[in-house]
Structure 1
Amino acid sequence: MVYRVLGLMSGSALDGLDIVFVEFQENGGKWQYEIIQGETYPYEKEWVEKLRNAINLKALDYQLLDVEYGHYTAAEVNKFINKHGLDFKVQLIASHGHTTFHVPSKKMTAQLGDGASIAAATGINVVSDLRAIDMALHGHGAPIVPIGEKLLLNDYDLFLNIGGIMNLSYRKPDEYIAYDVCPANRVMNMMAQKLGKEIDYNGDFARSGKLQPELLNHLNALEYYKMPYPKSLANDFGTDVIFPMAAKSGYSIQDGLRTFVEHMAEQLKASLVALLDGQAGKKRILVTGGGAHNTFLIERLTALLQEIDVEVVVPDKVLVDFKEALIMGLIGVLRWREEINVMSTVTGADRDSIGGAVWMGQPWN
């Protein structure tokens, strides 16, 4: 069976809306994919501010923004379809939306981007609200990407996505483990912006800084890192806890960035040491997400992971940039097929689930 799908992803780093047009093929339970087109539509400053400040809005204003962002998303989708000549070729849109609230202890998560608005404005069937049922089943609603890693990228046992938050997946023979390791790009971007740049290109600011052991120890001692998995992070752990520590510690921003990069590398190494538990044999970890373009960060990850015999692999740019949007597309297809698309072993939910709300944008007559 062949499915031609648009996968949409807006990450917490606020860099833009990722759109991919993917052809999935399923044969006897085995999946293959081809990314035919992919683009990132950067957010203008107005939208960066709207999304960043959404958590501070009154209830009505938040709901209005949800609809507005849904129509904004639909407009970007229509632009993508027109540019690439995809009229009448897209069977389904799977939209993650933009996460605002994430409170697993209250069984609540919220992503902006009203699915009904996207469906109505594109005339294409839409799957959205991908995390909600897992949260209702006492899960963390995250991570949800592992189902795609399991079905599409089975050459690897370890996966690392470095987006606004850095998350890790480990495919063991008898179980699948995944969780959020620590904040990542959102914090680095906020620090780079204090130096007049949107991001720390290639990690140059961090490379020029000096490692501050005292700050590193304080970061590594935070309570989250002592918690067992399954576990997940909301954006505010990075923006309200990590960022003030790294940026307002009495050190230069460059020193803060250098130390934060080391913090990320040390937390990943510690996570892998615990997960691998002395297993013999070299492992490979596939690294994707915007942070994979940060050469200094990749250098530090490579250096620390060599110590535990784990090889860092950065794939081609298309997979680096669009892995999450790709997997959102697959999650949407699985929802359409009424098949499991969220694994309880990684989220901690009561059971596996079929997540996503379906909105019929295609006219019936």
Structure 2
Amino acid sequence: MNELSAVGVMSGSSLDGLDICYCDYNYFESKWQFQNLNGETIPFPRDIYGLLLKARDLSGEELAKLDVRLGMWMGQMIRDFCRRHDYLPQIIGSHGHTVFHHPKQGYSIQIGSGQAIASYANIPTINDFRSKDVLLGGAGAPLVPIGDKHLFSAYDVCINLGGIANLTINCEELPRAFDVAPCNQVLNKIAHRMGMPFDQDGKMGRSGTFLKSWYTSLETPHFYQKKGPKSISNEWVEQEVLSTLPAREDPRDLAYTYCKFVGDRIAESLLEVDFNTVLVTGGGTHNRALLDTLEEALGVKIVVPKAEIINFKEALIFSFMAVLKLRKEVNVLKSVTGAFEDSSSGVYYSP
């Protein structure tokens, strides 16, 4: 199985839509290569979107129904995507949509039934990539570093500006990775105050000014002083940041200040790292204000790759994790999650 084709699907915390990508993998001379990457982002149906927004507050039975409903829809979307492009993938890797993430209590719950996906797409599916690591004492996150290690090793640091900003340090003997700060979840919430789903091209942030007092209050949670491995849950973002957004400040000033906050936290996380090359992906790469503040904070030129990698890197890596699981190889690294051992994680479902 040195040549495999796979589909990856990712539903991020920003709820921008379902990312679906296809990729061909080749293992040659002890190195992984990928090609023919193609992806689409499909908006959630209004009913599913509304339920995902309040998923943490649903009853047990309502959440079970949503799990299956989401999986059925995901399977249909994958099937249609593959038919449009004449793809015949051998495996699907699905992250699912995170509802609860409490690794210290032994669980991390993502919905989007793996069996429903496999059945409706008619393709074997692997999901639930976090549970095994959590039960091995890990944080169940981050998972992306396995892909950074094998597919993007040319870069010293890989930064993802998604709903939550996280990074992987590739330039040390053992990869390290961790969540840094809430990112697009907060910036999108600020944009909503201007009647926009997100800050298009960072125009809001680029026209804002610095709010020192709010910036100082953002620094207070103990999380930012902790060393990795560490991860951020959606509940934490709601409690520590979104619920404390100043009500009377100009949204443009909030956007600029928060962009600077994210850039500074990332730079602070890399103070003791000797790095030169930095790859930046995720939805935040479309925000010029965020990129400008990040580049200024880091003091190096950042690399923004082609659009397919920007938009679908996380989905790509979940397809890669499924390939590794299919080969019974390590796909979650203890050096980044804090687990007792590396693991080959995920649950396999036949159509």
Counterpart secondary structure, 1:196: coil
Structure 1 position 236, deviation (Å): 2.0
Structure 1 position 120, deviation (Å): 1.1
Residue identity matched to 1:352: D
Aligned to 2:43: 42
**1:256 and 1:271 mapped to 2: Cα distance?**
22
Counterpart secondary structure, 2:228: coil
Residue number among 311, 331, 340 corresponding to 1:321 in the alignment: 311
Aligned to 2:200: 201
**1:102 and 1:7 mapped to 2: Cα distance?**
21
Structure 1, unpaired ranges of 5+: none
Residue number among 280, 285, 292 corresponding to 1:299 in the alignment: 292
Counterpart secondary structure, 2:268: helix
Structure 1 position 204, deviation (Å): 1.2
1:33-112 matched pairs, under 5 angstroms: 33-86=34-87, 89-112=88-111
Kindly tell me the number of residue pairs found equivalent between the two proteins.
Answer: 350
Structure 1 position 180, deviation (Å): 0.2
- Is this contact kept in 1: 2:304–2:310, CA < 8 A? yes
- Is this contact kept in 1: 2:141–2:337, CA < 8 A? yes
Structure 1 position 297, deviation (Å): 0.6
Deviations 1:21-48 (A, max 9, x none): 1000012421100134211112244332
Aligned to 2:114: 115
Residue number among 325, 328, 334 corresponding to 2:324 in the alignment: 334
Task: Say yes or no: does 1:153 pair with 2:152.
Answer: yes
Counterpart secondary structure, 1:225: helix
**1:53 and 1:246 mapped to 2: Cα distance?**
20
- Is this contact kept in 2: 1:35–1:326, CA < 8 A? no
Residue number among 248, 253, 256 corresponding to 1:255 in the alignment: 253
**2:127 and 2:149 mapped to 1: Cα distance?**
21
Deviations 1:65-113 (A, max 9, x none): 1011000101111110121122xx2111111111111112112101111
**2:105 and 2:116 mapped to 1: Cα distance?**
27
Counterpart secondary structure, 1:283: coil
Residue identity matched to 1:291: G
**1:240 and 1:259 mapped to 2: Cα distance?**
19
Counterpart secondary structure, 2:198: coil
- Is this contact kept in 1: 2:259–2:290, CA < 8 A? yes
**1:287 and 1:209 mapped to 2: Cα distance?**
23
Q: What's the TM-score once normalised by structure 2's chain length? A: 0.97
Aligned to 1:221: 220
**2:281 and 2:46 mapped to 1: Cα distance?**
25
- Is this contact kept in 1: 2:157–2:171, CA < 8 A? no
**1:42 and 1:206 mapped to 2: Cα distance?**
25
Residue identity matched to 2:36: I
Structure 1 position 64, deviation (Å): 1.0
Choose 322-331 or 187-196, whichever is displaced more: 187-196
Task: Say yes or no: does 1:289 pair with 2:290.
Answer: no
- Is this contact kept in 1: 2:38–2:308, CA < 8 A? no
Counterpart secondary structure, 2:160: strand
Structure 2, unpaired ranges of 5+: none
Report % sequence identity: 35
**2:198 and 2:67 mapped to 1: Cα distance?**
27
Deviations 1:124-144 (A, max 9, x none): 110010111001111011001
Deviations 1:220-259 (A, max 9, x none): 22211011211000012222221233343x4222222221
Aligned to 1:20: 21
Aligned to 1:239: 238
Aligned to 1:162: 161
Cα 1:191/1:47, change in 2 over 3 Å = farther
- Is this contact kept in 1: 2:256–2:289, CA < 8 A? no
- Is this contact kept in 2: 1:93–1:332, CA < 8 A? yes
**1:134 and 1:13 mapped to 2: Cα distance?**
24
Deviations 1:172-228 (A, max 9, x none): 332111000000011111111121111111111122222111111111222110112
Query: Which aligned runs of 4 or more in structure 1 are off by greater than 6 angstroms?
Result: none
Aligned to 2:349: 359
Residue identity matched to 1:200: D
